[in-house]
Amino acid sequence: MKIRILAPVAAALVFGGLLPGSVAAQAADEGTLLLRAGGREIGSESYRVVLMDSSIRITSRVTLAGTRPPTELTASSERSAAGALAFQLAYRGPAGGGEVYAVQRRNRLTIRHVERGAERASEAPGGPAVVLLADSVFAPFLQMTAIATEAGRPLTAVFPRTGHRLAVTIRRLPGVAGGGTRFELTGDLAGEILLGNRGELARISFPALGLEAVRQRE
């Protein structure tokens, strides 16, 4: 399975473990990412990261050029320190649209697909090391940085829309020049997440796929 950009050209902050006591509904980071495939800019993603009591919520809105009408995806991911997960994805494009919902409770993942005139639900194994993601949406990868370790944290990345599951290890690396933090992804998905010296998302890249998201300068 490959992370893909849904367009014809396609080929976190460190939250201190999400300790209780965070200011409720505190906006920790927000901005716009420029999405590139093969070095070409193919869309943008506006995102917002909110910290609540012992949980993190990431919302994103992606617009991809190259299709008529443009492909649009709106995703919301929430993860608590206890491992409870909630995920929602709405997608629209030339082939139509729909919604996907996923919830994890007691290590069991329930996924529901809703499209015009059809609805289906399924269950899959969950667990404390699961993160929920969406193809072509980058900001939710910040969930991984919140639980990364220097030794490397093995995770299972689940894509509810397709059902794909990837084994990924994220490792927090020494600080980069000028400040900031770098995270390395290895396993079924190889890449890098770079945070700036204020903890803001600066860049996410998957070199083997030719994909990257770079923060737009304000």
The confidence score (pLDDT) of residue 6 equals: 59
| Res 13: pLDDT | 34
Mean pLDDT of the region 184-199: 95
pLDDT computed for residue 5 by the predictor: 67
Mean pLDDT of the chain: 86
Confidence (pTM)? 0.86
SS (HEC) of the chain? CCCCCCCCCCCCCCCCCCCCCCCCCEEEEEEEEEEEECCEEEEEEEEEEEEECCEEEEEEEEEECCCCCCEEEEEEEEEECCCCEEEEEEEEECCEEEEEEEEEECCEEEEEEEECCEEEEEEEECCCCEEECCCCCCHHHHHHHHCCECCCEEEEEEECCCCEEEEEEEEEECCCCCCCEEEEEEECCCEEEEECCCCCEEEEEEHHHCEEEEECCC
18 pLDDT more than 70: no
Which residue did the predictor score with more confidence, 171 or 146? 171
Q: Give strand pairing partners of 72.
A: 63, 92
pLDDT tens track for 53-112:
778 899 999 999 887 888 999 999 998 877 789 999 999 988 889 999 999 988 899 999
pLDDT at 14: 34
For the stretch 111-154, pLDDT in tens is: 999 988 889 999 999 998 999 999 999 999 999 998 899 999 99
